Structure 1
Amino acid sequence: MRFFKRRNFVRFTDIKEEVASYSPDADFSLLEKAYVFSAKVHKGQTRLSGEPYLIHPLEVAMILAKLRMDLPTISAGLLHDVLEDTLTSFQELKELFGEEIANLVDGVTKISKLPFSDPKITQAETYRKMIMAMAKDIRVILIKLADRLHNVRTLEYHEEEKRKLIAKETLEIYAPIAHRLGIEWMKNELENLAFQHLDPVAYNEIYRKLRHFEKEKQKYIEEVKKILKNKLKENGIEAEIQGRIKEPYSVYEKMKRLGIDFEQVYDLLAFRVIVNSEQECYQALGIIHSLWTPVPGRFKDYIALPKPNFYQSLHTTVIGPYGERMEVQIRTWEMHKVAEEGIAAHWKYKTGKGLDEEEAEKIGWLRQILELQQELEDSKEFLHILKIDLYPDEVYVFTPKGEVKVLPKGATPIDFAYSIHTEIGNHCYGARVNGKLVPLDYELKSGEIVEILTSPKAHPNRDWLKFARTSRARTKILKFLREQEKNHAIILGQELCEKELKKVGLSLGELQKKEEFKKLLELFNFKSPDDLFAAIGFGKITVSQVVGKIAPQETLVRKGKSRKINLGTLIKINGMENLLVHFAKCCNPLPGDEVIGFVTRGHGISIHTSDCPNVLSVPPERYVEVEWKGENGFLFPVKIKVQAEDRKGLLAALSNSISQMGINILKAHVSTTKSGEALNFFEVEISNTKQLEKLLSHLRKVKGVKKAERVKKWI
């Protein structure tokens, strides 16, 4: 068990000695050049602790040397902050140290200088850049992990809010990445340091109790080690036995997950048995089970079924001497090296090359993250799914042909289907587990055989997102749904365009052949006609905006648009006819409304609704009794307001609902309140109050709509 204390500062000679321990013939000239350059450009800079800044790159380089990395990686560790924190350019770095090291440093560099106003987007874009660089060279993430580890080791110099933010990010992203790469010691240290800053009270209490437990059990640990070593030796197995206490954060997680106190955590002791061959691992397991009673359901064979991060061991839990429950891990020395160093243990130091195809295949999670970052445009969504994909617990399930699929704990048949092929997932309608039909939200368990049932007519729906766990499944479902929504929006946009163009004597098919249509796409910055129609369907632009750019202006003067019309066609005033009238813009009277008129200077009779506030200021002697003459075929502008729960595609749904009634939209405006409510304002053309009531009733049926009403003012 590791308890963390501040070390003496690392010197450059310490790094050289560490590298020489695993690469005695190394040429240190490149490393020395990187050290001198880093010291030069960081001269005068200090950390929050007041220490010289150079201490940080030296510490990062030492962590990389402890991981037994190659010289270009350690050199990049010494230089990892020069692009961000000094005036050094990428080109200068490339000329001095070569393209390999320059690319490593650039891959690690944050993008804090980019103009993102939302910190979450900046954070997500940093990860996106990091993932892309990892795909080209896995060493990028190892440098970034070393950088983060030293930063959290010295986190106490930050303000509390900043400390908690960095600690939370470390726990959610960096510790799981270290676990995924198989570097358990680093994962444990990152978790414990982050825990220490996020909940210092809980950390200190568990730390204190573990220290006491370790002191109390020291004799017991030595006794078990002696029994094991002697028994294995009797059977011709030479082994090293290690005893340890569980890590503070793993104990805290177990307490939180099971809702128990520290005193109820019974497996605080763990032993490690390291032997010389795989065969001896299984022999040792039999001997241990003959010594002490195994706990049912607690045996795991990670040798036959290695974890995605290369980890291999046998795990068992037994009731040891004096009834003490203890976990035992059994592995070979090669497995132990991989468990300690993770992916770094696979690095090709001599050739300077990265992972070969077979090894790269083992870290399929990195391929999946690369795929999702290419398919997801929304940075916050990418960050959310990245966290899901780094989830450490796995289940092992089988295809009917016996192929093993490793999925996160809680995975469902949907995740299994997409792990086989996108098309299998997109056409999945059911599943059989161990020969029995199960629902698609069934949680898979290790050892189960899963068969996916498909149909050409089956397709993903939004409910699948509620129980899909893997980033691959969620990304593919979202992609399908977006394409489906876009297709619907394209069809709706085409229908709206066709309908509006007919009113001005134009045809959509003919228009698309003309040069004006290409200019229209350029004007609105669309690459294709489908992009234009989709924008109309989603409500991003209105049909009126589009038609207004291509139709002759004189054709756009529609019946009912003129505010001055012949009285005889619409309004009757005390039996008099042929008087000039106009309809007031303050209340926009509509056939079916109770109306009142009054005499104006030079504009004839002004028609208002009887409840219009402006009528109250007019002297009674100017009032004129008026009434509607009946149906007339004219269209009148009416303003309506729709309050709804804000959701994706809402504007398109409302626009579609209006167009289904054959009603034209003149204007549209959308805003969102602080409480997350969408306010949608439309100006539409209506013939009478009956049509208006039908429209409002139709809009109230749209999903999420709380209120639809006529308003006098635009907003």
Structure 2
Amino acid sequence: MSTIESLAERLGNYLDDQKVNQVRRAYFYAEQAHEGQYRRSGERYISHPLAVANILAQLNLDHQSLMAAMLHDVIEDTGIPKDALIEQFGAPVAELVDGVSKLTQIEFRSRAEAQAENFQKMTLAMARDIRVILVKLADRLHNMRTLGPLNPEKRRRIATETLDIYAPIAHRLGMHSLCVELEDLGFAAMYPMRSQYIAKAVRKLRGDHHEIINEIRAGLEDKLRERELPGRILGREKHLNSIYNKMKFKHKSFGEIMDVYAFRIITDSVDDCYRILGAVHSLYKPLPGRFKDYIAMPKANGYQSLHTTLFGKHVNIEIQIRTEEMESVANHGIAAHWMYKHDSEVGEVNQRRVDRWLEGLMEMRERADDSLEFIEHVKVDLFPDEIYVFTPKGRIMELPRGATPVDFAYAIHTDIGNACVACRVDRQLASLSQPLQSGQTVEVITAPGARPSPVWLNYVVTGKARSSIRHALKTQQRRESVELGRQLLSRSLNSLGSRLDELGDARVQRVLEHNQVDSFDRLLADIGLGNRMAYIVARQLAPDTGQDSDAAPALEDTRAGQTMTIAGSEGSVIQFADCCQPIPGDPIVGRMSSGSGMVIHSERCESVRHLDADSPQLVYLSWAKDITDDFSVELRVETARKRGLIAELANTVALAEANLEGINVDEYDARHSVVVMTLHVRGRTQLARIMRRIRNLRTVKSVTRVRR
């Protein structure tokens, strides 16, 4: 078992004595603070912080990170306040410890909410100092190594969180070695039997393939010597979680996965990487489409390497070629920054990528309504596979596989995404929903005043796009609900002989306090969303009329000159009912629906006919003039059967300058057909013209408008 002295000896290889002594002092402070505390395994609790510090020491992390590792559970588990740590060890160390500590003083409604809030707190600290997540990952790795004594349910819960959040974060930061171990330990905790079975099969197969592996390695070494190229050749092990996922999601057998032999060649310079690539291609035949140049186009987490797949000895051989520094970055990611203190171009590029990721996290956090929504967006954003596309000016953008032009627009800037109306892919107009492919050039077309569509949420894949769209839609809905609430309240006040702009501040404030809302806009939004009745709020605001404040206004007061005008494009808080599909010219009425706003029905619709004429749920409406929007309507056409009937009906609709959205033969027999058509029309006048044209067709017996 490791001791503080063995750790100090290791630290002496890259830290001076003064810094080693500070780490030693943090250890003794933590040892005293955790005195009498034990882990489930029966070990003294201090063994855990010491193990976490040892993991960070393997990454050559600085002394403050190691001190934070020693102290990371002190605030949470011993009652020692953050101020005491600041006094003893300085603010940077105390901030690191606080960033890793859970929120223990708050009561949460659920475990999921507690986890989300803790992750959000850690993310804020991580944005200030990336070392917070390094300490947390080391803490999680040791906890995963020592899951054994916990009960099965808790093991699975911790493993799920590790596989969903912490392993993907390690991957996002380029820390391959740590990511692989977290994934394998999580897999073993979730599926112990499957893990043991695959591990046993891998050991057996490795023994069976020992000769062919040595033969391929010898061939590669001979070729490098022949070309006088520097390089050491390492075998590459497939880890258990990766094997299981390929079997599960790619539907491959264990034999198919293990028939690929993988090697890594580490060399001195980028130039040597490309020369070695040429050498191995001369030794074995490369497979078409399997070469990837991650040196020229690094992955989002800073990973750089040449990948090629060869066919030789009747098997596939995967080769990765990289420099020593790329190898360090591939294994340790952002932590390699502490290993390469000199001016390292690879390290600087990796740091910039991490900074961009953290900026994106902060933007998602600001736009999310709560911590659960934030963590949902983060999970979506932790995709392991990237594609690389170009802006028209040649800038490379990394996006998750499956990303669409809308994701691309939001990756450039939130305002570009919000104003996006169309796109060009490789100079051709393309759908906003189509998945992008690596190498494509994407141009976003924007328009002033454009707004995100709720439909985009069905196909965007990045957390930033999803959170930005939701934020914009919520902002838009709030603005529209305030405006609708203002109209409804003004209408009710007018019926009481009062005006909205004449209300005194003191009276408004009393009504806000009575309704327990913090602003007048919030009150208007509640009215617009149907959560409050406009006439009740109007009674509270209007000067005393001697009437019961909860009584509804008389019908004649409500309707006379107080109808609202509908223009057809009111937005998300005013919707047109699917049941009766009203169109301009139909007599209409609005029905307030709690939380959703106003739904517009035809006055004859069964959904509103049972309501009293003076019901507070009803709002009397009229159509504006010169409406240019299209409205959906269904027609039922009874006709004799005839060849080419569908084409004839579609042509008739087109000649009437309407759009045919759908057409379906609902029922038919040997002599008759019933066709249901869904059209987009601008109003009753155009609809009457269409129905007249269809009725004039020789085979048509009747045309009726469908009202559900």
TM-score (norm 1): 0.76
1:349–1:316 distance in 2 versus 1, CA, 3 Å: closer
Match of 1:508 in 2: 500
SS at match of 1:21: coil
Higher mean alpha-carbon deviation, 483-492 vs 514-523, is at 514-523
Partners of 1:310 and 1:338 within 8 A in 2: yes
SS at match of 1:361: helix
Of 374, 385, 393, the residue aligned with 2:377 is 385
1:256–1:92 distance in 2 versus 1, CA, 3 Å: same
1:318–1:507 distance in 2 versus 1, CA, 3 Å: same
CA-CA distance at 1:518 after TM superposition: 3.8
Instruction: Describe how 1:248-263 pairs up with structure 2 within 5 A.
Output: 248-263=240-255
- The question of 1:284 aligning with 2:276 is answered yes
Match of 1:104 in 2: 96
Partners of 1:112 and 1:122 within 8 A in 2: no
Match of 2:389 in 1: 397
Match of 1:53 in 2: 45
Of 124, 129, 136, the residue aligned with 2:116 is 124
Match of 1:546 in 2: 537
Match of 2:68 in 1: 76
Q: Deviations over 1:107-156 (max 9, x none)?
A: 00012431111221111111111111110000000000001001111112
Match of 1:478 in 2: 470
Residue 342 of structure 1 aligns to which amino acid in structure 2? G
Of 329, 335, 348, the residue aligned with 2:326 is 335
Match of 2:106 in 1: 114
- The question of 1:150 aligning with 2:76 is answered no
Match of 1:11 in 2: 3
Partners of 2:308 and 2:318 within 8 A in 1: yes
Partners of 2:27 and 2:70 within 8 A in 1: yes
1:335–1:633 distance in 2 versus 1, CA, 3 Å: closer
CA-CA distance at 1:488 after TM superposition: 1.2
Q: Percent identity?
A: 41
Match of 1:240 in 2: 232
Of 537, 543, 553, the residue aligned with 2:528 is 537
Partners of 1:292 and 1:319 within 8 A in 2: yes
Larger Rg: 1
CA distance in 2, matches of 1:423, 1:302: 30
Partners of 1:266 and 1:325 within 8 A in 2: no
Residue 506 of structure 1 aligns to which amino acid in structure 2? S
CA-CA distance at 1:393 after TM superposition: 0.7
Partners of 1:395 and 1:409 within 8 A in 2: yes
CA distance in 1, matches of 2:442, 2:506: 56
- The question of 1:323 aligning with 2:314 is answered yes
SS at match of 1:149: helix
RMSD: 3.4
CA distance in 2, matches of 1:146, 1:164: 19
CA distance in 1, matches of 2:29, 2:331: 32
Of 191, 201, 210, the residue aligned with 1:199 is 191
Partners of 2:405 and 2:433 within 8 A in 1: yes
Partners of 2:178 and 2:332 within 8 A in 1: no
1:482–1:393 distance in 2 versus 1, CA, 3 Å: same
Instruction: Describe how 1:179-194 pairs up with structure 2 within 5 A.
Output: 179-194=171-186
Q: Deviations over 1:22-45 (max 9, x none)?
A: 335563221111100111011111
Residue 298 of structure 1 aligns to which amino acid in structure 2? R
CA-CA distance at 1:525 after TM superposition: 5.4
CA distance in 2, matches of 1:261, 1:438: 38
CA distance in 2, matches of 1:668, 1:241: 67
CA-CA distance at 1:20 after TM superposition: 2.1
CA distance in 1, matches of 2:466, 2:154: 32
SS at match of 2:320: strand
Q: Structure 2: which 5+ residue stretches go unaligned?
A: 559-570, 581-586, 597-606, 622-630, 633-708
Of 664, 667, 686, the residue aligned with 2:612 is 686
CA distance in 2, matches of 1:544, 1:60: 64
- The question of 1:230 aligning with 2:222 is answered yes
Of 541, 556, 559, the residue aligned with 2:547 is 556
CA-CA distance at 1:514 after TM superposition: 3.3
CA-CA distance at 1:309 after TM superposition: 1.5
SS at match of 2:236: strand
Match of 1:298 in 2: 290
Partners of 2:402 and 2:461 within 8 A in 1: yes
CA distance in 1, matches of 2:340, 2:317: 38
Q: Deviations over 1:543-582 (max 9, x none)?
A: 35533543345443389879xxxxxxxxxxxxxxxxxxxx
Partners of 2:300 and 2:353 within 8 A in 1: yes
CA-CA distance at 1:269 after TM superposition: 2.5
CA-CA distance at 1:14 after TM superposition: 2.4
Residue 47 of structure 1 aligns to which amino acid in structure 2? R
Partners of 1:664 and 1:685 within 8 A in 2: no
Match of 2:436 in 1: 444
CA distance in 2, matches of 1:72, 1:436: 54
CA-CA distance at 1:350 after TM superposition: 7.5
Higher mean alpha-carbon deviation, 199-208 vs 125-134, is at 199-208
Higher mean alpha-carbon deviation, 81-90 vs 110-119, is at 110-119
Match of 2:636 in 1: none
1:507–1:313 distance in 2 versus 1, CA, 3 Å: same
Of 177, 189, 205, the residue aligned with 2:169 is 177
Partners of 1:394 and 1:407 within 8 A in 2: yes
Match of 2:353 in 1: 362
CA-CA distance at 1:160 after TM superposition: 1.1
CA distance in 1, matches of 2:573, 2:147: 45
CA distance in 2, matches of 1:429, 1:546: 40
Q: Deviations over 1:54-86 (max 9, x none)?
A: 111111111111111000000100100001111
Match of 2:83 in 1: 91
Partners of 2:340 and 2:347 within 8 A in 1: no
Q: Structure 1: which 5+ residue stretches go unaligned?
A: 1-8, 563-630, 636-647, 671-680, 696-700, 703-715
CA distance in 1, matches of 2:443, 2:93: 47
SS at match of 1:346: helix
TM-score (norm 2): 0.77
Higher mean alpha-carbon deviation, 339-348 vs 543-552, is at 543-552
CA distance in 1, matches of 2:93, 2:24: 14
Partners of 2:590 and 2:619 within 8 A in 1: no
Partners of 1:42 and 1:53 within 8 A in 2: yes
CA distance in 1, matches of 2:24, 2:576: 65
CA distance in 1, matches of 2:244, 2:590: 62
1:207–1:317 distance in 2 versus 1, CA, 3 Å: same
Partners of 1:538 and 1:649 within 8 A in 2: no
